[in-house]
Structure 1
Amino acid sequence: MKGFNIFVAFFLFIAMCSGQEINEGLISFGDEIEASGSMTSLQMLETYKVMVVADTVQSKFTGVVKEVCQSKGCWMKVELEDGEEAMVRFKDYGFFMPKDIAGKEVIINGLAFVEEMSVDDQKHYAEDAGKSADEIAEITKPKRTLGFEADGVLLKE
């Protein structure tokens, strides 16, 4: 009987591991997501272009991390095309990203939205990013931003 239990445990372990090959070479944060089926950063930008403030769209896209919150890793900016970027926050403040991933590729799943970011919020994020007092003082008006609330992120190693 003991041998049978070991066999069953081994079989279950192999079965559980075999389903993870799809995301091989990826580190998962937040909810488990699949790497397949993501849009490119150009396709994501095209999606944002037809959105207006208060629209939300369930999306998954691949992009390169431009900047990460240096306080806790509680947000990141991901490059789109034409110099645009998406400000990515994490659902329910439920997970954080490593602070040293600028330049790395990620796959992000969640809700895309367009918002008008207040001066106070812009200054808060600038402080988190380690901007100088002079750079923060230059923020004087609200700004239309491309936002994203991620429920899951895959980081390419």
Structure 2
Amino acid sequence: MKILATIFLIAFTIMSCKEQEGANDNAFAKAESVNTTLQDEYVSYGAAISSENSLTKSEVAERYAALAEGDTAVVKFEAPINAVCASKGCWMRLDIAYEEQVFVKFKDYGFFVPTDTKEGSAIVEGKAYLEEVSVGELRHMAEDAGKSKEEIAAITKPERELRFMADGVLLKAE
């Protein structure tokens, strides 16, 4: 009788463990599904940032309008991507309101975005500022963007530009 009771207890223990494993697998699958959903929505570059509380294009344009030369503002905003450095992905241009663009660089040259990023939108978090860009840098950026020699040669004056140093970037997944 003791042998029968021992066999029964062993069988019961094994069956209990199997049910527990199945419950854990199911919980893991649910957690993995939620994580995949978030990953499917955005691809992150640089510092981890969230998509919550992002300013709109027009709100960030108002922030830039309030900046004076030498001022900075820490902001997070979402805007359509206009261009990306075709050479390395080391910068991008985002469209904001009033037909203006923001030139985005990445903090400490520490990360890049894919060079084939042409459409969609990005969420960036970091520092907004104004800068006068030299002719040399403007020509370098035009070269990185794949402009013709004639277009590059036509750049003869420095320009005041809306700039942004991004700590982190979220790109909408395709």
| TM-score (normalised: structure 1) | 0.86
Residue 86 of structure 1 is matched in structure 2 by: 102
SS across alignment from 1:60: strand
**What is the percentage of aligned positions where both structures have the same residue?**
42
Write out aligned runs for 1:1-157 (5 A): 25-157=41-173
Q: Out of 18-27 and 63-72, give the one that drifted further.
A: 18-27
The count of residues paired between Structure 1 and Structure 2 equals: 152
Q: 2:140 aligns to what SS in structure 1?
A: helix
Q: Which has the higher helix share?
A: 2
Larger Rg belongs to: 2
Taking the aligned partners of 1:20 and 1:150, their CA distance within structure 2 comes to 25
Q: Deviations over 1:6-57 (max 9, x none)?
A: 9xx9789977986786665110000100100100111111110111111111
TM-score (norm 2): 0.78
Mapped partners of 1:23, 1:34: distance in 2 = 12
2-structure distance, mates of 1:20, 1:114: 38
After TM superposition, the structure 1 stretch with the greater mean CA deviation from structure 2, 113-122 or 99-108, is 99-108
- Are the counterparts in 2 of residues 110 and 151 from structure 1 also a CA contact under 8 Å? yes
Report runs of 4+ in structure 1 exceeding 2 Å deviation: 9-24
Distance 1:53-1:13 versus aligned 2 partners, 3 A rule: farther
For structure 1, the residue ranges without an aligned partner over 5 or more in a row are none
Specify whether residues 121 and 37 from structure 1 end up closer, same or farther in structure 2 by C-alpha distance, changes over 3 A only: same
